[in-house]
Amino acid sequence: MTRNRSQPGKSHYDLIVIGAGAGGLVTAGGAAQLGADVLLVEQHRLGGECLYTGCVPSKAIIHQAALARGGGPQRWVEARAHLDAAIKTIEPHDSPERFEGFGVEVVLARAVFTGPATLEIGGRSVTARRIAIATGSDPAIPPIPGLDAVPYLTNDSIFSLDETPSHLAIIGGGVIGCELAQAFARLNVPVTLIANSTLLSRADPDAVAILEPRMVTEGVTIHTHATVEKASGTGTNLTLTLASGEAISASHVLVATGRRARTTGYGLEAAGVMTGPGGIVTDAFLRTSNRRIYAVGDCREGPRLTHAADQDARTVIQNALFPFRKRKSYTALPAAIFTDPELAQVGLTEAEARQRHADINIFRHDFDHNDRAVTEADTCGFVKIVARGSQVLGVTIVGPRAGEILALASFLVSGRLSLADLANQTFAYPTFVEALRHAAEQPGQAALFSPMMRRLTRLFQHLP
């Protein structure tokens, strides 16, 4: 293991990274292993939202909820124990000791800019050749009258619940709201979900049309195009009043209306770092308005996904340490929603593609024609490829293993794999990924089995 090359307490570094969530850890660890002198500053604990209040606990709960649906653990208490165990298992991967082994100096303190390249950290002033801001995001709380007086939950707090809700009301029909609504319903908790538009409004409506009835069947009461006008109550006697006049009683309220960049309290003004409505403003190379400073992950304008932060980190490592530049690109950035069925997307949806282009083609293969799905009695869903000529603009998958299949679909959208390339591949039988290949075969089959090809085939049969 690499020894720590930093001198603790020194005043200048090659790179200072502020924030030890997914983006900050990858940036600091990668830069140090490349030989840079790196200081990583975190005011709370290494691991960030993904480990403690985001991806890890939510997927652990979703797993336990799936077991409950199959006759396994039926209570929140078992699910909570499983998520705690999952966090404890993963924690060492994000520990200070591990990153110190990479050569990173780790300091648990608040970092505040006092100048364009100067920071006050734990009572000492330090400078750096380059700085990466990776401060993450906080739950976005809507301005609902009375909400601030109600003991509401967010994803930052719901996974620490000791008691089982007797009725969970969720404000927000996005990814967090839908994933947790279905999970808690499968854990025998009555759930009411309130969305101010449609469910998963950025997703393909055809895919949502498959997911929504499944959620309702499993016990989630869904109010779409609904607005919460007032929140009231104390303890576990809470009420949400809708614009329609309907009052929804709940023991617990989860606010799941998105995330906002965490940018205040770091002295960004002193550093000359501009922010906008979506977070820190960056250029094509993830540089801020101060070109010595970069922004990584949720704190910058752009997609708020753990793997987007990881991608940002790899871009910033190259741009901060070396003279050759790498541009950020989210064109082929995949996204998966871990409901059942799973919903995965890369590139444009069909609706987005139609807004931009008049001449698109849709190639779709349903899972009820996939033999593996049939054998597992899980045939709900489809693969949809959106193309313009030979260019794949986007892929939507809803159904079993959608998030896993999407990995291959990303190569189509990035242009590293053509539809013909994919159609000519051979996959193990029977597998779910064959649904993607069958969709990719459709444009070639139209030409292959055309009347002209049939005539040519008959002609060739007369050759000796």
Q: Clarify whether residues 172 and 228 are in a common domain.
A: yes
Model pLDDT, residue 385: 98
> Structure pTM?
0.92
9 pLDDT tier (thresholds 50, 70, 90): low
**Segment 430-440, tens digit of pLDDT:** 999 999 999 99
Domain boundary among 257, 272, 307: 257
Q: Clarify whether residues 24 and 108 are in a common domain.
A: yes
* CA count, 13 A, side-chain hemisphere, 17: 33
Does 390 fall in a domain? yes
Please give the angle made by the CA atoms of 344, 337 and 408, to the nearest 5 degrees: 30
Domain boundary among 294, 321, 348: 321
Q: Clarify whether residues 372 and 426 are in a common domain.
A: yes
Q: Clarify whether residues 121 and 151 are in a common domain.
A: no
Does 57 fall in a domain? no
Does 352 fall in a domain? yes
Q: What is the CATH number of the domain that holds 343?
A: 3.30.390.30
Does 458 fall in a domain? no
Q: Clarify whether residues 382 and 307 are in a common domain.
A: no
Model pLDDT, residue 445: 84
Mean pLDDT on 309-315? 97
Does 413 fall in a domain? yes
Model pLDDT, residue 1: 33
**Segment 77-125, tens digit of pLDDT:** 889 999 999 999 999 999 999 999 999 999 999 999 999 999 999 899 9
What percent of the chain has pLDDT above 90?
88
pLDDT reading at 72 higher than 70? no
Residue type, 130: R
Mean pLDDT on 266-292? 97
Does 182 fall in a domain? yes
Please give the angle made by the CA atoms of 108, 160 and 214, to the nearest 5 degrees: 125
Q: Clarify whether residues 349 and 437 are in a common domain.
A: yes
- The rounded mean pLDDT for the chain is 94
Q: Which of 5-9, 66-70, 336-340, 364-368 has the lowest mean pLDDT?
A: 5-9
Domain count, the chain: 3
Q: Clarify whether residues 17 and 122 are in a common domain.
A: yes
Q: What is the CATH number of the domain that holds 251?
A: 3.50.50.60
Domain boundary among 202, 222, 257: 257
Q: Clarify whether residues 249 and 362 are in a common domain.
A: no
Does 326 fall in a domain? no
Phi, psi of 92 (to 5 degrees): -60, -25
Gap between the Cα atoms of 18 and 41, Å rounded: 5
pLDDT reading at 354 higher than 60? yes
Q: Clarify whether residues 302 and 420 are in a common domain.
A: no
Does 427 fall in a domain? yes
**Segment 234-249, tens digit of pLDDT:** 999 999 999 999 999 9
**Segment 331-341, tens digit of pLDDT:** 999 999 999 99
Q: Clarify whether residues 209 and 238 are in a common domain.
A: yes
End-to-end CA distance of the chain: 69
Q: Clarify whether residues 210 and 269 are in a common domain.
A: no
- Residue-number span of the structural domain to which 298 is assigned: 12-46+95-138+260-321
Whether the Cβ atoms of residue 122 and residue 9 lie closer than 8 Å to each other: no
pLDDT reading at 69 higher than 90? no
Q: Clarify whether residues 283 and 377 are in a common domain.
A: no
